[in-house]
């Protein structure tokens, strides 16, 4: 887990949060409407996002276990998964900058599950307490997202359920600041994150980092 550390996952979540804001910003804004009148929205927003991150962690745990099984069955499995995760990071950068939308096809793979579980979320709104926002966020955490799917390859590399869960939790925490800020009405942040130059800058950083990871994997400097 040297290259695919929790700090790296957090930073990728932080960088990729501009995609989260664009994809989930409307959801985050709608949270305020579900909060009972006269109550501060922050506890509800935090609870919602903790539910979302919990779903990421569960997906990471399952993927980590699958990675452990696959690495034991495939020759040079670790190197293959490391290269796959780096390639997915490049795809993520291209997707964020809208230079190539290949990840949009990957998102379609989760539509079947999403259409089945999405109606359950309606049972929890309007919120009665901050606790009721948690399962709402947990369900919305399974929204098909190329950014999440890309990061799951890092959990695959970990080859361990616990590390996979921690990796995805770190990623989710990285997305937290921007989503909370937008949910609280920071429209200026939404404008900044959605600016084409912001997207291009973040995309270039992700792609450069991915190339560095590929180099280290191929040269054995892990």
pLDDT in tens, 159-184: 899 999 999 999 999 988 888 887 77
Which of the 8 DSSP states describes residue 221?
A: -
First to last CA, the chain: 9
Nearest one of 89, 97, 93, 95 to 210, comparing CA atoms: 89
Q: What is the mean pLDDT of residues 24-38?
A: 76
Task: Tell me how far CA of residue 207 lies from CA of 89, 115, 157, in angstroms.
Answer: 7, 32, 18
Which one has a higher pLDDT value, 110 or 88? Answer: 88
**Domain regions of the chain by residue span:** 6-219
Averaged pLDDT, 145-153: 89
What pTM value is reported for the model?
0.88
Report pLDDT for 190.
65
Residue 18 pLDDT class (50, 70, 90 cuts): confident
Least confident window among 2-16, 60-74, 109-123, 137-151: 2-16
CB 20 within 8 A of CB 178: yes
Q: Where are the alpha helices (DSSP H) in the chain?
A: 6-34, 42-73, 77-96, 103-107, 111-117, 130-140, 146-158, 161-183, 187-193, 196-219
* Closest of 141, 152, 150, 145 to residue 60, by C-alpha: 152
> Between 42-73 and 146-158, two packed helices, what is the crossing angle to 10 degrees?
50
Residue range 94-122: average pLDDT? 87
**At 129, is the pLDDT very low, low, confident or very high (cuts 50, 70, 90)?**
very high
């Amino acid at each position: 887990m040297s290259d695919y550390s929790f700090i790296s996952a957090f930073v990728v979540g932080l960088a990729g949060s501009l995609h989260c804001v664009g994809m989930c910003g409307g959801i985050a804004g709608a949270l305020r409407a579900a909060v009972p009148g006269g109550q501060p929205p922050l506890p509800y927003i935090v609870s919602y996002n903790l539910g979302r991150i919990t779903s990421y962690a569960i997906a990471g745990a399952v993927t980590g276990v699958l990675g452990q099984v696959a690495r034991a069955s495939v020759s040079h499995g670790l190197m293959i998964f490391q290269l796959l995760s780096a390639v997915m990071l490049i795809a993520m950068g291209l997707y964020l900058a809208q230079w190539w939308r290949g990840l949009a096809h990957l998102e379609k793979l989760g539509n079947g599950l999403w259409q089945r579980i999405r109606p359950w979320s309606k049972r929890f709104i309007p919120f009665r307490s901050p606790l009721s926002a948690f399962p709402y966020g947990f369900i919305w955490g399974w929204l098909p997202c190329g950014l999440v799917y890309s990061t799951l390859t890092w959990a695959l590399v970990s080859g361990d359920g616990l590390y996979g869960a921690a990796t995805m939790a770190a990623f989710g925490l990285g997305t937290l600041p921007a989503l909370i800020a937008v949910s609280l009405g920071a429209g200026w942040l939404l404008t900044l994150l959605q600016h084409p130059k912001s997207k291009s800058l973040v995309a270039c950083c992700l792609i450069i980092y991915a190339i560095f990871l590929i180099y280290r994997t191929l040269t054995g400097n892990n």
